[in-house]
Structure 1
Amino acid sequence: MSDNIFTNWCYLPTSLGKFRMYDTGNENLRLICSGNIKHLKKPPLIRVHSSCIASEVFKSLDCDCSDQLWMAMKMIHSEGSGLIFHLNQEGRGQGLSNKIKAINLMQHKGLDTHDAFNALGLEQDIRSYQSVVDILLFLNIHQIKLITNNPQKISFFNDKNICVKSVVSTIPIIRVENQSYLISKKNKLNHKFDLSQLENQNSYPDTLKKKETAREIKFYEKDQPYGFFSNFSNHAVYLKNKIWKTSEHYYQSQKYANSDYEEKIRLAPSPMIAAKMGRDHRFSPKPDWENVKNTIMLEVLFAKFTQHPELKDELIKTAPLTIIEHTENDHYWGDGGNGSGKNMLGKLLMKVRSSLLCN
């Protein structure tokens, strides 16, 4: 392994924040890092991602590959430390040519991704992550937190003496174009993720075209169904005689109200960066923050849903359903992923809804 991995690197400015891109010496393996690769948290948060040119470059909607990559980048940037390995392994290792053949069968014969591979006589997944193992060992990393829904990937690293101490799942962004693909991955390829938005319906087909029939609405990512409930959604608010790019910008900045740092957060280029700035332990929130944070959140939510009439209408339409921020990453604002969280964001959204209905 070449020392270039330490000496040949550049900054990678993204809409999520600044990463570093490192030279692995292998054109088929790209490596980016949040923070300095020499000073990673232990165990580091890792994403091992196989390329999908269709979704990552050309923005195809019929899989979840680019969604997972983007979520992993957000998680790792929020952590402030971690690695993303991007491998040139199209079509679960079978290559782009075979992948195109499989997708053609899916589109013209109605097969799912599993059955299309079988029809072509292809093994379902022949990917190898040995090049990643080699780099981890070179970096003296023997334990990792792995962002994945794929049990086969977990087994690969454990078998190579890279202990997967914990697994962080990604939440699928379900679209009409990719729901059959996701169902096949879960039921036939044994990937572990939540499809309750589909499974709670009477049948899978055309689920996202149907009117909501469940008693709950679950949301999290801004580009998922009901993503406008997210504080990261691209809806500016006008408060304190200023424009705030998102409700996240306003909420995080009010921890430091009437300080220079408040304005720095207001001007953050993205809600992810605003959130990270708001959690920066080098700065101390105002003393009464824990007592007033719910009031601040309610204030910005009310502004968001009254200043954007289309959002007001969508929120009112959800009555009387229960609104839940569904994520294992937050046990206060969210439901903790399993209902053990307080779901305060969902509760405050419903409070805003009640107020709008009364008026």
Structure 2
Amino acid sequence: MPVYFYDTKENPYGCFTNFSRHGFELDGDWWRTSEHYFQAQKFAGTPHAEEIRKLPTPREAFDLAHKLKHLVRADWSHIRDDVMRKAVQRKFEFNGDIQAVLLSTGDALLVEDSPTDSYWGCGADRKGKNMLGQILMEVREKFRTLPTSTIVNRDRTHNKPDVHKSLQQRVRERIEKREPLDFGSAEP
């Protein structure tokens, strides 16, 4: 059965969206969300990238990048999937709690249920490319094939197989019981 996600408030799968407040370190900087990272990379090497990185919300990062779309780097359409893949993988490496949610989906098809985006999501007709869902499934498969899950979590406690398995089991149990999951803050 597919797992549909779109809004950050959808428990527990709202953490799959790029707007979820699960920060991470990447390329020497702290990113509040994967949306911040993705939008900033459209302007890598310019002051706009840093301006986007420092914005308080992912919506503001998205809106500013859209406003500056005439300045997007020339190679963007060729590298955007790899940029998204890098951001998504790092987000789930750095946040063990949501990595457990991702792994708890088993082999389910993951679908960004965006009514307006048929590239990253499924679009209004649900026939879109669903690239974000595809990337999430790729990342999920990578984590499965690692000898132990690579979690760089801020508290550094989730890099042991037994601790990770226990966390993953607790997440599955809470999902089955439809209990809320608490993912904490996005800041270190």
Class of the TM-score when normalised by the shorter of the 2 chains: 0.7 to 0.9
C-alpha displacement of 1:316: 0.7
In 2, the alpha carbon distance for the partners of 1:282 and 1:301 equals: 22
Find 1:307's aligned residue among 84, 90, 94: 94
Q: Give the gaps of 5 or more residues in structure 1.
A: 1-214
C-alpha displacement of 1:269: 1.5
In 2, the alpha carbon distance for the partners of 1:274 and 1:308 equals: 21
Task: Name the TM-score, length of structure 2 as normaliser.
Answer: 0.75
In 2, the alpha carbon distance for the partners of 1:268 and 1:336 equals: 27
Find 1:323's aligned residue among 110, 114, 132: 110
Aligned residue in 1 for 2:76? 289
In 1, the alpha carbon distance for the partners of 2:9 and 2:125 equals: 22
Find 1:335's aligned residue among 96, 112, 122: 122
Distance 1:270 1:313, change over 3 A: same
**Residue type matched to 2:128 in 1?**
G
C-alpha displacement of 1:285: 0.9
Distance 1:315 1:277, change over 3 A: same
Aligned residue in 1 for 2:25? 238
Aligned residue in 2 for 1:219? 5
In 2, the alpha carbon distance for the partners of 1:263 and 1:310 equals: 28
Using CA pairs under 8 Å that are at least 6 residues apart, name the structure with larger relative contact order, 1 or 2: 2
Superimposed CA distance per residue, residues 112-136 of structure 1 (whole angstroms, 9 cap, x where no aligned partner):
xxxxxxxxxxxxxxxxxxxxxxxxx
Aligned residue in 2 for 1:352? 139
Aligned residue in 1 for 2:154? none
In 2, the alpha carbon distance for the partners of 1:223 and 1:265 equals: 23
User: Which runs of structure 1 show a deviation greater than 4 angstroms over 4 or more consecutive aligned residues?
Assistant: none
C-alpha displacement of 1:284: 1.2
In 1, the alpha carbon distance for the partners of 2:70 and 2:116 equals: 22
In 2, the alpha carbon distance for the partners of 1:262 and 1:301 equals: 18
Matched, 1:249 2:30: no
Aligned residue in 2 for 1:80? none
Q: Give the gaps of 5 or more residues in structure 2.
A: 147-188
C-alpha displacement of 1:297: 0.2
Distance 1:267 1:283, change over 3 A: farther
**Residue type matched to 2:37 in 1?**
Y
C-alpha displacement of 1:282: 5.9
Following superposition of structure 1 onto structure 2, how do residues 1-359 of structure 1 map, counting pairs within 5 Å?
A: 215-225=1-11, 226-281=13-68, 283-359=70-146
Identity %, equivalent residues: 34
**Residue type matched to 1:255 in 2?**
K
C-alpha displacement of 1:283: 4.2
Task: Name the TM-score, length of structure 1 as normaliser.
Answer: 0.40
Q: Please give the secondary structure, in 2, of the residue aligned with 1:256.
A: coil
Aligned residue in 2 for 1:37? none
Structure with higher Rg: it is: 1
Greater fraction strand: 1
